[in-house]
Amino acid sequence: MTEVQALKIIENNIKIQDKSFIYELHEKDHFDQNLFWKLYDALITLVTRDLKSTTLDRQFSRNIAKILGYTLKSVSCHFSPFDVTKIKGVHEKDLHLYVERIEVAVDGYLAGYLVKDDLFELKRPSSRDP
């Protein structure tokens, strides 16, 4: 994935545009695993780009944090007995594994370390191996 493609994916998710992971999750209560991996790969692309940087763009970093926040809010609402939100498209027992991936990718971006796929219980679909 190119840096330009990664930035566009991040932008689409921040703006909650149609056909973005956050749009599907937040607006349709649908966990689109393909869009998740596109977003995740965009984050990893940007982590890799910025590994040598000692400064980060505050607004862009804020947007990255918003993606994590939207994801956490949607997942927490799914488990709340007081909310009608129920996420489709992913097994409930796996939601925390996807959240872990996004959380570590965001932390990698903010702290400047490369995220290693082999550290995670949740494995990529074979067609998405980097």
pLDDT of residue 66: 92
Alpha carbon separation from 45 to 40, 81, 90, 108, 113 (Å, rounded):
9, 37, 24, 11, 12
Residue 59 has pLDDT above 50, yes or no: yes
Average predicted confidence (pLDDT) for the chain = 86
Q: What residues does 88 pair with on adjacent strands? A: 30
The two structure tokens encoding residue 114: 């490369």
Residue 128 has pLDDT above 60, yes or no: no
Residue 32 has pLDDT above 50, yes or no: yes
For residues 57 and 49, give the distance between their C-alpha atoms in angstroms, rounded to a whole number: 13
Write down the pTM of the prediction: 0.85
Q: What is the mean pLDDT of residues 46-64?
A: 82
Q: Which of 50-59, 62-71, 90-99 has the lowest mean pLDDT?
A: 50-59
pLDDT of residue 11: 95
Could you report the per-residue pLDDT of 71-122, keeping only the tens digit for each?
888 887 766 667 667 788 888 888 889 999 999 999 988 888 888 888 899 9
Residue 56 has pLDDT above 90, yes or no: no
For residues 120 and 113, give the distance between their C-alpha atoms in angstroms, rounded to a whole number: 15
For residues 91 and 87, give the distance between their C-alpha atoms in angstroms, rounded to a whole number: 9
Q: What is the mean pLDDT of residues 55-79?
A: 84
Query: How confident is residue 129, by pLDDT bands cut at 50, 70 and 90?
Result: very low
Whether 41 contacts 86, CB under 8 Å: no
Task: Report domain extents, the chain.
Answer: 3-124
